[in-house]
């Protein structure tokens, strides 16, 4: 099934033979039901939908479409598990279950990585080295907190919120499930989670792992479906907390839906993050950071460094090196270990990205794409750089969520702060400079939840992540992430 990675040109003229990850060791069923109250149950409508591999458009499995009735069953199971088991259990026992889930995920890391790559289109290198290890680490990290909550919230009385309804997107399917489930369980809540419709498989594998871990029935319920399933979770009166990661449009819709209820909400929405290169930065490392910032995971990253700001004196050098590096990127089969840029997650998302590329050209920006061939099946996009971009251009303002980078220059620190902050979003930023004082100056003035210094897209379960402005509110990860799942009294 694997195609040769279709890379064509690079400076040295070198090429690598394909190095395909085997898929023989994975276990995928033809069809998946809903995981409710510790059992696999059929959707009450009898409806299933297909999830495909975006790299070759082949169907991977059929997945149940949960409706309101199914969501109600899941929420009731979560409520019962909360009232009768999970909230009564000693915290040290809860910790053991979370720890066990982490261990089981680690044992199946290889299978989870391959399934993630098949279902989402992301390169195997990323799912294997980033998504899956980070997801395991999240469970390990929060397992550690579960019986130490009195140190997390010293001198405060606290209690769990109850049932958490969690809705996640398709860009980091297993990792987002871990970000949501692990802190909720550690703080003593029970969960109803809905994965995205294009990437439900690793969440369903996680349900199998949870079943294997012996976690009491109903503590975690996984329901698959579309926006209507998500809406049913948000609107269910017995859900005490809604945690959502996805588009700003749906985030706003959720906020309206919970207005006037006492549901707690955390929203992690889009971004248009800036990556700022000063003239004294280590240029080669910065170029790697730019590449990692925007082309990592096909640019399907809410905190992608999609707006590049380069100090005028080094702009020509940076652009030359950047183009050279873009020429050497491998675009193609996500299962190939050489692949840097895998498949775009869905046809719809590819259309969105192509629409923005067209807008960029029409706006008069100058486009650069390496001259690599793309596979004839599947959804692929070349890494794209736009220069000659004005601050007011649509491509510099709106989230594209694809491998598309805009570059602008600046002269002074104040100018770049003003430009970087000129966005409705505020999720992340990167600063590249040799000067420590400048880093501190910028980290305090950039309106972004995360600011990376001389690196980009680095994550750790212990450090909180979240946004300013239209990028949402609430933090995930670290102690802050735990705080989002308790009521402090
Ligand atoms: P989306 O926001 O529609 O989907 C995210 C999740 O929300 C999915 O599980 C979906 O089924 C669910 N959902 C959809 N409508 C809902 C509703 N009314 N109530 C409750 N849940 C609902 O995102 P979509 O359409 O897949 O992507 C559109 C754009 O959103 C992307 O182009 C990108 O710009 C942005 N996005 C941002 C993400 C982030 O990490 N911040 C992740 C995914 C998309
Ligand atoms: Mg899929």
Over residues 232-267, the pLDDT tens digits come to 999 999 999 999 999 999 999 999 999 999 999 999
Give the separation between CA 22 and CA 278, rounded to whole angstroms: 43
Q: Is 126 a catalytic residue?
A: no
Greatest alpha-carbon span in the chain = 65
Neighbours of 210 (CB within 10 A): 24
Whole-number pLDDT of residue 195 = 98
> Which tens digit of pLDDT belongs to each residue from 397-417?
999 999 999 999 999 999 999
Using CA atoms, how far apart are residues 193 and 60, in angstroms rounded to an integer?
A: 21
Q: Provide the residues around ligand 2 (an ion) whose CB is within 5 A.
A: 51, 119, 198
- Residue 4 pLDDT > 50, yes or no? no
Position 5 pLDDT exceeds 50: no
Distance CA 307, CA 13 (A): 30
Whole-angstrom Cα distance, residue 239 to residue 258?
A: 10
Among residues 334, 286, 338, the alpha carbon closest in space to that of 311 is found at: 286
Question: Which one of 302, 303, 372, 381 is the catalytic residue?
Answer: 302
Q: Residue 60's closest CA among 121, 128, 118?
A: 118
Tell me, what's the pLDDT at 13?
A: 57
Check the CA dihedral 203-208-214-218 and report its sign: positive
Nearest ligand 1 atom to the CA of 254 is 19
Whole-number average pLDDT of the chain: 95
What residues contact residue 24 under an 8 Å CB cut-off, 6+ apart? none
- Which ligand is nearest the CA of 242, by number? 1
* Predicted confidence (pLDDT) per residue in 116-148, tens digit: 999 999 999 999 999 999 999 999 999 999 999
Per-residue confidence (pLDDT) for residue 411, from 0 to 100:
98
Among protein residues, the one whose CA lies closest to atom 6 of ligand 1: 169
- Residue whose structure tokens are 């993630």: 116
Q: What stretches of 270-333 show up as alpha helix (H) in DSSP?
A: 283-295, 312-327
Q: Give the helix ranges, DSSP H, for 90-236.
A: 91-107, 109-120, 124-126, 132-146, 149-152, 173-186, 201-213, 227-235
- Is pLDDT at 192 greater than 70 in this prediction? yes
Ligand 1, atom 43: nearest CA belongs to which residue? 246
Rounded Cα distance, 408 and 393, in Å: 11
- Full set of structural domains in the chain with CATH: 33-269+471-488 (3.40.605.10), 274-461 (3.40.309.10)
φ, ψ at 262 (rounded to 5°):
-100, 25
- The number of the ligand nearest the C-alpha atom of 378 reads 2
Helix pair angle (109-120, 91-107), 10° resolution? 70
pLDDT > 90? residue 468: no
* Model pLDDT, residue 3: 42
What are 268's strand-pairing partners? 245, 472
Check if 111 is active-site. Answer: no
At 2 the pLDDT is 40
33's CB contacts (< 8 A; 6+ apart) are 40, 41, 42, 43, 64
* pLDDT over 70, % of the chain: 97
DSSP element (H, E) containing 92: helix 91-107
Q: Which residue's structure tokens are 């969105």?
A: 352
Mutating to test ligand 1, I would choose from 236, 246, 345, 381 the residue with most ligand atoms within 8 A of its C-beta, which is 246
Q: What is the DSSP letter of 345?
A: S
Mean per-residue pLDDT for 157-183? Answer: 98
Contacts for 29 with CB less than 8 Å, ≥ 6 apart? 61
**Nearest ligand (C-alpha, residue 267):** 1
What percent of the chain stands above pLDDT 90? Answer: 94
The predicted model gives 423-432 an average pLDDT of 94
Name the burial class of residue 81, with classes exposed (0-12), middle (13-18) and buried (19+) by CB atoms within 10 angstroms of its CB. Answer: buried
Q: How far is the CA of 170 from the centre of ligand 1 (A)?
A: 8
pLDDT over threshold 80, residue 31 = yes
Instruction: List 61's β-bridge partners, or say none.
Output: 51
State residue 9's pLDDT score: 45
* pLDDT tier at 12, thresholds 50, 70, 90: low
Output the DSSP codes for 4-68.
PP-----TT-------BPP-TT----SEE-EEETTEEE--TT--EEEEEETTTTEEEEEEE---H
197, 268, 470, 476: the active-site residue: 268
Strand order in the sheet with 31-32: 31-32, 58-64, 48-53
474 pLDDT band, cuts 50/70/90, is confident
Residues with CB under 6 A from ligand 1: 167-171, 194, 196-197, 226-227, 230-231, 234, 245-247, 250, 253-254, 268-270, 302, 349, 352, 399, 401
pLDDT per residue over 197-236, tens digit each?
999 999 999 999 999 999 999 999 999 999 999 999 999 9
Distance 195 CA to ligand 2 centre (A): 11
Q: How far is the centre of ligand 2, averaged over its atoms, from the C-alpha of 336 (Å)?
A: 18
**pLDDT per residue over 32-76, tens digit each?**
999 999 999 999 999 999 999 999 999 999 999 999 999 999 999
| Ligand 2 centroid distance, CA of 148 (Å) | 38
The contacts of residue 83 (CB under 8 Å, 6+ apart) are none
Tallying the residues shown for the chain, one arrives at: 489
Determine how many CB atoms are found less than 10 A away from the CB of residue 320. 11
SS3 402: coil
- Answer whether 32's CB lies under 8 Å from 193's CB: no
CA distance 91 to 214: 16
Distance CA 436, CA 415 (A): 19
Count of CA atoms in the C-beta half-sphere (13 A) of 190: 30
pTM of the full structure: 0.96
Confidence at residue 14, expressed as pLDDT on a 0 to 100 scale:
64
Cα four-point dihedral sign 224, 228, 234, 235: negative
Write down the residue that tokens 């670290």 correspond to: 478
In terms of DSSP bridges, do strands 404-410 and 384-387 run parallel, antiparallel, or are they unpaired? Answer: parallel
The answer to whether residues 221 and 37 touch, using CB atoms and an 8 Å cutoff, is yes
pLDDT tens across 336-361, in order? 999 999 999 999 999 999 999 999 99
- Choose which residue among 250, 263, 353 to substitute to test ligand 1 binding: the one with the highest number of ligand atoms within 8 A of its C-beta: 250
């Amino acid at each position: 099934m694997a195609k040769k990675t279709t890379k064509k040109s690079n400076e040295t003229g070198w090429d690598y033979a394909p190095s395909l990850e085997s898929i023989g060791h994975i276990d995928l069923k033809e069809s998946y039901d809903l995981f409710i109250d510790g059992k696999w149950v059929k959707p009450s409508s009898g409806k299933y939908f297909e999830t495909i591999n975006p790299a070759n458009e082949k169907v991977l499995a059929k997945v149940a479409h949960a409706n309101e009735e199914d969501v109600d069953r899941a929420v009731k199971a979560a409520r019962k598990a909360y009232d009768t088991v999970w909230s009564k259990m000693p915290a040290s026992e809860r910790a053991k279950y979370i720890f066990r889930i982490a261990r089981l995920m680690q044992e199946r890391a290889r299978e989870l990585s391959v399934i993630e790559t098949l279902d989402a289109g992301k390169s195997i290198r990323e799912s294997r080295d980033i998504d899956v290890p980070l997801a395991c680490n999240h469970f390990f990290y929060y397992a550690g907190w579960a019986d130490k909550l009195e140190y997390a919230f010293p001198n405060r009385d606290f209690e769990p919120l109850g049932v958490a309804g969690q809705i996640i997107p398709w860009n980091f399917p297993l990792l987002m499930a871990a970000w949501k489930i692990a802190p909720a369980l550690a703080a003593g809540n029970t969960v109803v989670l809905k994965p995205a419709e294009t990437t439900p498989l690793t969440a369903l594998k996680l349900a199998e792992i949870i079943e294997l871990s012996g976690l009491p029935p109903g503590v975690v319920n996984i329901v698959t479906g579309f926006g209507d399933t998500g809406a049913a979770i948000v609107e269910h009166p017995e859900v005490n907390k809604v945690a959502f990661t996805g588009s700003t449009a749906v985030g706003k819709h959720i906020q309206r839906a919970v207005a006037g209820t006492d549901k707690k909400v955390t929203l992690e929405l889009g971004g248009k993050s800036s990556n700022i290169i000063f003239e004294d930065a280590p240029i080669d490392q910065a170029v790697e950071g730019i590449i990692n910032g925007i082309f990592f995971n096909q640019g399907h990253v809410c905190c992608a460094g999609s707006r590049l700001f380069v100090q005028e004196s080094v702009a020509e050098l940076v652009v030359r090196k950047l183009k050279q590096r873009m020429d050497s990127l491998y675009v193609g089969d996500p299962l190939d270990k050489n692949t840097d840029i895998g498949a775009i997650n869905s046809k719809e998302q590819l259309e969105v990205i192509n629409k923005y590329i067209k807008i960029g050209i029409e706006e008069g920006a100058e486009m650069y794409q390496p001259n690599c061939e793309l596979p004839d099946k599947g959804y692929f996009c070349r890494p794209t750089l736009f220069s000659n971009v004005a601050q007011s251009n649509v491509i510099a303002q709106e989230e594209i969520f694809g491998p598309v980078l805009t570059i602008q220059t600046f002269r002074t620190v104040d100018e770049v702060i003003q430009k970087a902050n000129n966005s409705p979003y505020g999720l992340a930023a990167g600063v590249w400079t040799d000067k420590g004082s400048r880093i501190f100056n910028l980290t305090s003035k950039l309106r972004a939840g995360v600011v990376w210094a001389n690196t980009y897209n680095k994550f750790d379960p212990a450090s909180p992540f979240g946004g300013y402005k239209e990028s949402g509110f609430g933090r995930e990860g670290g102690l802050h992430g735990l705080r989002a799942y308790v009521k402090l009294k």
